[in-house]
Homo-oligomer: A and B are copies of this chain.
Amino acid sequence: MLRILNAAHHAPSVGFSQPWNFILIKDRLIRQKVKESFLRERERSISMLDGNEKRQKQYVSLKLEGILESAVNICVTYDPTRFGPFVLGRSSIEETGVYSVACAIQNLWLASRAEEVGVGWVSILANKDLEKILSIPPHVKPVAYLCLGYVSEFAGKPDLERAGWLPRMDLASVVCYEQWGVNHSEPWSALSAAMKKMNEDKREDNI
């Protein structure tokens, strides 16, 4: 836990503001309340899929949280008042504060993986429930609710890809050159070719 949290805390942050907090949770009663928030939000999501029976059935079959089964839950929060009000580099794009917290979460995720610890991010929750359950003050924003623990296996692909929920996009389809929507550019032809080759290699692997 020390190494995992320390990796998160060493993420880059706008103006070196380090605007994160980590609430570590083992308490059963607290987790039970968070689980109830999940169950309510899950019901809402299911009803949003009314009229798309196939998708709804698939949604219901998915494992989307491990709040009670995991060893530890972590709520990661963003404090915009940290070292404020003037935070270097945050005056033009205020959202860079909360983006810094997301960078810390990705560090936490990768450091966990290096320790053979699995991480799941539960986003089917109401932030207003988290604020109440965890006594988060009004100026602080919950960013993520994570479940951590040793797992029986690390899958080679994301669950939703394996389940056929959505496909992995080709890298080339999310890259463009010099301007939005420009897919060909002479100075970038070597990279284009490398992406194409990687794609073909992957398709051969899958056959």
Count identical subunits in the complex: 2
Chain B CB within 10 A, most for which of A55, A89, A158, A166: A89
CA distance A12 to B26 in the complex (A): 25
Which B residues lie within 8 Å of A15 (CB)? 160, 165-166
Question: Does the CB pair B175–A22 fall under 8 Å?
Answer: yes
Residues of A in contact with B, size category: 35 or more
A 21-38 to B, binary, CB cutoff 8 A, 1 in contact else 0: 111111100100000000
- The answer to the question of A144 belonging to the interface, with a C-beta cut-off of 8 Å to chain B, is yes
A123: chain B residues at CB < 8 Å are: 14, 89-90, 92-93, 96
User: Which residues of A line the B interface, CB within 8 A?
Assistant: 1-2, 5-6, 9, 11-12, 14-18, 20-27, 30, 41, 44-45, 48-49, 55, 59, 62, 64, 77, 83, 86, 88-93, 95-96, 98-99, 102-103, 105-107, 109-110, 121, 123-127, 134-137, 140, 143-144, 158, 160-161, 165-166, 168-169, 171, 174-181, 187-188, 191, 194-195, 198
